[in-house]
Structure 1
Amino acid sequence: MRRFRACLSAGDGIDYDPATGVIAADISDQAGNNLALGPDGGLFVPTGAATVSTGCGLTGDGSGSAPLTVATGTWPYACTPEDAGGVIVCGTDGVLRGEPRGRATFQSFTETRNYNNRTVPAAQETTVATFTTTFTNPDPCRAAVVISEREIDVSFNLPANSAAAYGHDTDEMHYLKNTGSSAMTNAHTQTTKLIQQSAFLAPGASLTASLNVTLGDLRVRPFCRDRRVSAASTRASRAPIPLV
């Protein structure tokens, strides 16, 4: 009995051996091809085998041996990124975004008042003038620490054997005594003081700050200066207050 085999030919993707009559899949040897024969003799593509070309910020080609990952640097700080690291999110425009930029805002307030000569009160830290201004946190995201820089100009006219002092609120800043036998005229002093107005001013919120100018004829007390960096500051210059 004779057997006959029909005439066959191989097309794209087919491997045909006329001598044996075996027909198989023709797997390309092209670089980057991930199609393979599995141990069960079937065709398969390994998980994660699809490759891509990456741009800035990514590494790997998407294959099983080189999965896509974010290209990162080395954390150079003593703290851990879990405790102190920032946040990266994806915006609605599809762009990765970091945390809002920090900012420092400078706000200036100046008010000039002219006074007739007035007697220095006998009591220490007597309020003789009050100035007010408003701070607004311009940051739409973060709370602000508000620190104001205040300046006061005062001129004293001191008869012989008299004394006077002035201060910011309850902090006496300058004390002057005339121990001579003649009057001192227009003894001028300008002082500056930093005040923390708020440790937490909500985004977009405002606060009103007051500066009280005090006078008295008692001795000065010690004081401390606050040197912390502010999220907002002001410089309030005052006109001299002639006093007798």
Structure 2
Amino acid sequence: MVPLACCGGARGCTCTVTAGSGVEVEGSGSTSNPYVVSSTGAVAATGCGLTGDGSTGTPLSAAVRSWPYACDVDDQGGGVYCDSSGVLRSDPPVRQDNFSNAINQVQSPALAVPTVAERTIRQLTLTVTNPDPCRAAHGILFREVDLDFTLPPGAGAMAGIDGDDMNYFANGGDTTVFAVHSQDNKITPFTLNAGETRTITMDIDAGRGSNGATIVRVQATLRAWVYSNPL
């Protein structure tokens, strides 16, 4: 507390000191009993996000609601942080993005189905980026391959994805079968580090070709959905 002498302590001088909100004044203003001004510790008003008046009974604090979830706030609650300019910030928001690439190619002339067990006939690439610069992300990768075969009598052909034989067609009749359609897909997970960009490659495979089997159309699609992980 700071003593306050009225009128500099001059003899016969009188004055009045009025206390404002949150301020207490003690003493009479005389030389022997000067005014003493002190704060009660209370605040006149609070802005957004604060409550209480700073007194012992109602201390100044953050205005918060009750934790409404079944989990424990101590283990699962997010954080509040102060940035370089003194502004309060929460945890970064969860970010997501999606990516796709596709081809649809008529083969002219028709492409002979490889006679070996399996061979890559085309490749498709997709570049994906984790949109979150702070946290790792989960990704879901969808791979689809469609091949159209022409199968003469006794011919056979296999279609696959990334080294995996997906199906095999054979013509056991005595006439050519046109537009034999193979459609295969896979869904697999992957992860990305914070802010990471990665190029994913899909091999379009065919094999076990016999008796003049050919491919007349190649269609393929790569799609990815990427979601960052909340901590």
Scaled to the shorter chain, the TM-score interval is: 0.5 to 0.7
Residues 64-143 of structure 1 mapped to structure 2, 5 A cutoff: 64-115=56-107, 116-143=109-136
Equivalent residue number for residue 191 of structure 1: 184
Deviation at 1:193, TM superposition (A): 2.6
Question: Contact 1:155–1:187 at 8 Å: present in 2 too?
Answer: yes
The one-letter amino acid paired with 1:230 is V
The CA deviation string for residues 202-232 of structure 1, in whole angstroms up to 9 with x for no partner, is 31x32221110111349xxxxxxxxx96339
The one-letter amino acid paired with 1:70 is A
* Aligned: 1:177 with 2:177: no
Q: How many residues align?
A: 197
TM-score, normalised with respect to structure 2: 0.68
Residues 40-55 of structure 1 mapped to structure 2, 5 A cutoff: 45=38, 49-55=41-47
Identity %: 34
2:201 to 197, 200, 210: 210
Query: Per the alignment, in what secondary structure is the counterpart of residue 75 of structure 2?
Result: helix
Structure 2: 5+ residue runs without aligned partners? 1-11, 28-34, 210-223
Equivalent residue number for residue 231 of structure 1: 227
Distance in 2 (CA, whole Å) between partners of 1:164 and 1:69 is 73
Distance in 2 (CA, whole Å) between partners of 1:45 and 1:59 is 23
The 1:135–1:230 alpha-carbon spacing in structure 2 relative to 1, beyond 3 Å, is closer
Deviation at 1:129, TM superposition (A): 1.8
Distance in 2 (CA, whole Å) between partners of 1:60 and 1:181 is 91
Residues 5-20 of structure 1 mapped to structure 2, 5 A cutoff: 11-12=15-16
Q: CA RMSD in A?
A: 3.5
Distance in 1 (CA, whole Å) between partners of 2:25 and 2:157 is 95
Distance in 1 (CA, whole Å) between partners of 2:21 and 2:158 is 88
The one-letter amino acid paired with 2:170 is K
The 1:75–1:36 alpha-carbon spacing in structure 2 relative to 1, beyond 3 Å, is farther
The one-letter amino acid paired with 2:52 is G
Structure (1/2) with the larger strand percentage: 2
Distance in 2 (CA, whole Å) between partners of 1:125 and 1:76 is 56
Question: Contact 2:138–2:192 at 8 Å: present in 1 too?
Answer: yes
Question: Contact 1:125–1:169 at 8 Å: present in 2 too?
Answer: no
Q: Which has the larger radius of gyration?
A: 1
Equivalent residue number for residue 168 of structure 1: 161
Query: Per the alignment, in what secondary structure is the counterpart of residue 118 of structure 1?
Result: strand
Deviation at 1:185, TM superposition (A): 0.8
The one-letter amino acid paired with 1:169 is D
Distance in 2 (CA, whole Å) between partners of 1:132 and 1:51 is 63
Question: Contact 1:52–1:62 at 8 Å: present in 2 too?
Answer: no
The 1:79–1:36 alpha-carbon spacing in structure 2 relative to 1, beyond 3 Å, is farther
Query: Per the alignment, in what secondary structure is the counterpart of residue 82 of structure 1?
Result: helix
Deviation at 1:11, TM superposition (A): 4.5
TM-score, normalised with respect to structure 1: 0.65
Distance in 1 (CA, whole Å) between partners of 2:184 and 2:102 is 15
